[in-house]
């Protein structure tokens, strides 16, 4: 963990290095993934069988070995404790309501010269969702990916998820039932993303692939962009907490560790103007390591990538935050709105002392699939629009074409494209 002060002479040098640090996959991962993608493209199901046996110790032989039925998902849902079923349903209801508000409207109008113009939105035919398996099995991620796709109107929703030694996560299956997933395959890793993108004998290709995964999954999505649409290339989790002195240090410690426990490469950052609070938070984090079940992962993250920044004034925080463009930004201050109004780049912002980032991970409503690695400068979180596309349309009357056609002819000629010009001028004459 680093402690930096903006008043130090070398602050800019050290901070700039942190901003540049990608914490993402190396060249070897890229080469490995390229090999896997090529194998799946050329050999289809045979390659999937070999990779699944190798990485998951699961043999894809019978239909049941390949896929998980809707009936099995329903059974998993029915077997949950009532309070857990209610929690899943509550989360699904809130996520669905929020994303329904994102549905775009079609446009269709006639302008002043009589030209009909507009755009029509439609869902992709099929979407593939990658759901991590094993230790990193998150039903919340399935809900966050599947529900926007269903709200968008996607007709075929396919999940791929690794099942190490054939063991599926019942909570993930229950979430698939709640979200209305159509197909689930017991395949994981970069090979699963390849199957969704290229299609195999058993797994038919999709149009968009979304969902979190490890470095190999993220790299597979990056390499396959263009063959399919993707949500984003997500890197390690990030949280930035901006806090004044009037905070409970134990609350802030838990907030910072909520992302550190994801992965050793996750990053947790605290910006505060109070040295006393900073010390208390660091002490609270050390105490949490003694009892947190995920302490090994969280401590590795905090030790290697944790950061505390002491500022002379919290007025400095928005500019620092924008340079980091973090996935999650908590503003735990007396006037969180004032700082929020100065922020430009963040995946999602959590306002006030009573809004921990974790509430957004599960149940608030907005999507928790967010840009990492400073991509919040130009990218947004997952939404229904990731599962939709817009088709523009034009309808010209004779009078409308006469009104603007000559200008189009002139531009076509200027660009040296005579057939373009002819296709318009012949209609004018």
Cα four-point dihedral sign 43, 44, 49, 55: positive
**pTM given for the model:** 0.93
Residue 275 forms part of a structural domain? yes
Number of domains in the chain: 3
Instruction: Identify whether residues 409 and 356 lie together within a single domain.
Output: no
Specify which residues 225 forms β-bridges with: 228
Domain end, chosen from 364, 386, 409, is at: 364
Residue 108 forms part of a structural domain? no
How distant, in Å, are the alpha carbons of 316, 318, 364 from that of 346? 16, 10, 17
Residue 143 has pLDDT above 90, yes or no: yes
Chain segment 348-398, per-residue pLDDT in tens: 999 999 999 999 999 999 999 999 999 999 999 999 999 999 999 999 999
* Residue 159 neighbours by CB under 8 Å, 6+ apart: 128, 129, 130, 131, 142, 146, 176, 181, 183, 184, 185
Instruction: Identify whether residues 341 and 352 lie together within a single domain.
Output: yes
pLDDT given at position 134:
60
- Residue 300 to residue 328: CA distance in whole angstroms: 20
Instruction: Identify whether residues 215 and 160 lie together within a single domain.
Output: yes
pLDDT given at position 135:
55
- Residue 373 to residue 233: CA distance in whole angstroms: 9
Q: Which conformational region is residue 153 in: left (phi greater than 0), alpha (psi within -120 to 50 degrees), or beta?
A: left
Instruction: Identify whether residues 358 and 259 lie together within a single domain.
Output: yes
Instruction: Identify whether residues 6 and 77 lie together within a single domain.
Output: no
Question: What's the distance, CA 259 to chain centroid?
Answer: 15
Residue 115 has pLDDT above 90, yes or no: yes
pLDDT given at position 317:
98
Other beta carbons within 10 angstroms of residue 7's beta carbon come to 10
Angle, helices 45-56 vs 27-43, to 10°: value is 140
- Residue 279 to residue 274: CA distance in whole angstroms: 9
- Residue 19 to residue 307: CA distance in whole angstroms: 12
pLDDT given at position 60:
93
Which candidate, 364, 367, 325, 317, places its Cα nearest to that of 342? 317
- Residue 305 to residue 113: CA distance in whole angstroms: 60
Residue 379 forms part of a structural domain? no
Instruction: Identify whether residues 329 and 405 lie together within a single domain.
Output: no
Instruction: Identify whether residues 268 and 195 lie together within a single domain.
Output: no
Residue 250 forms part of a structural domain? yes
Residue 311 forms part of a structural domain? yes
- Residue 166 to residue 171: CA distance in whole angstroms: 15
Domain harbouring 148, CATH code: 3.40.50.1980
Instruction: Identify whether residues 35 and 8 lie together within a single domain.
Output: no
| Residues 422, 425, 427: CA angle, nearest 5 degrees | 110
What pLDDT band is residue 23 in, cutting at 50, 70 and 90?
A: confident
Could you give the residue numbers annotated as active site?
327-328
Domain end, chosen from 188, 208, 230, is at: 230
Instruction: Identify whether residues 189 and 88 lie together within a single domain.
Output: yes
Residue 384 forms part of a structural domain? no
The domain in which residue 189 lies consists of 27-101+123-230
Number of residues that this document lists for the chain: 429
Instruction: Identify whether residues 152 and 200 lie together within a single domain.
Output: yes
The per-residue b/e assignment along 262-297, b for 16 or more CB within 10 angstroms, e otherwise, is: bbbbbbbbbbbbbeebbebbbebbeebbeebebbeb
- Residue 127 to residue 205: CA distance in whole angstroms: 9
Q: Are strands 348-351 and 328-332 parallel, antiparallel or unpaired?
A: parallel
Instruction: Identify whether residues 18 and 54 lie together within a single domain.
Output: no
- Residue 256 to residue 238: CA distance in whole angstroms: 9
Residue 334 forms part of a structural domain? yes
What pLDDT band is residue 231 in, cutting at 50, 70 and 90?
A: very high
Domain end, chosen from 364, 379, 408, is at: 364
The mean predicted confidence, pLDDT, of the chain is 96
What is the average per-residue pLDDT within 71-75?
97
What pLDDT band is residue 285 in, cutting at 50, 70 and 90?
A: very high
Residue 297 forms part of a structural domain? yes
Instruction: Identify whether residues 12 and 35 lie together within a single domain.
Output: no
Range name among 114-118, 168-172, 380-384 with the lowest pLDDT average: 168-172
Which candidate, 4, 30, 26, 24, places its Cα nearest to that of 16? 4
């Amino acid at each position: 963990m680093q402690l930096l002060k903006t008043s130090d002479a070398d602050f800019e040098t050290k901070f700039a290095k942190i901003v540049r640090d990608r914490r993402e996959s190396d060249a070897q991962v890229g080469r490995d993934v390229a090999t896997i993608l090529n194998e799946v493209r050329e050999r289809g199901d045979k390659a999937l069988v070999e990779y699944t046996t190798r990485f998951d110790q699961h043999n894809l032989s019978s239909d049941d070995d390949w896929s998980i039925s809707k009936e099995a998902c329903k059974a998993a849902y029915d077997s949950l404790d009532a309070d857990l079923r209610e929690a899943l349903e509550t989360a699904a209801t809130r996520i669905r309501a929020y994303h329904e508000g994102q549905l775009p409207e079609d446009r269709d109008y006639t302008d002043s010269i009589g030209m009909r113009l507009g755009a029509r939105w439609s869902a992709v035919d099929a979407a593939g969702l990658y759901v991590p398996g094993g230790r990193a099995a998150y039903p919340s991620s399935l809900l966050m990916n599947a529900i926007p796709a269903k709200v968008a109107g996607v007709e075929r929703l396919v999940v791929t998820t690794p099942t190490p030694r054939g063991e599926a996560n019942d909570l993930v299956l229950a979430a698939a039932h709640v979200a209305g997933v159509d197909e689930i395959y017991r395949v994981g890793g970069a090979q699963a993303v390849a199957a969704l993108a290229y299609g195999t004998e058993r797994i038919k290709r999709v149009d968009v692939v979304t969902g979190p995964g490890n470095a190999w999954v993220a790299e597979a999505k990056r390499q396959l962009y263009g063959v399919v649409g993707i949500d984003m290339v997500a890197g390690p989790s990030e949280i930035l907490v901006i806090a004044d002195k009037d905070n409970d240090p134990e609350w802030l410690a838990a907030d910072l560790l909520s992302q550190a426990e994801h992965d050793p490469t996750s990053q947790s950052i605290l910006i505060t103007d109070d040295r006393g609070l900073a010390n208390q938070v660091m002490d609270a984090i050390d105490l949490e390591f003694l009892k947190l079940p995920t302490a090994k992962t969280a401590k590795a993250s905090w030790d290697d990538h944790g950061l505390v920044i002491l500022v002379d004034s919290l007025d400095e925080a928005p500019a620092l935050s924008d340079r980091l463009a973090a996935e999650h930004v908590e503003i735990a201050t007396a006037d969180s709105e004032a700082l929020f109004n100065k922020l430009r780049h963040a995946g999602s912002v959590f306002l006030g002392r009573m809004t921990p980032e974790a509430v957004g991970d599960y149940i608030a409503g907005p999507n928790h699939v967010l840009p990492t690695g400073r991509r919040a400068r130009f990218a947004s979180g997952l939404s229904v629009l990731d599962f939709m596309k817009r088709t523009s349309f034009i309808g010209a009357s004779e009078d409308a074409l006469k009104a603007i056609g000559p200008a189009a002819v002139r531009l076509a000629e200027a660009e040296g494209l005579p057939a373009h010009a002819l296709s318009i001028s012949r209609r004018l004459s």
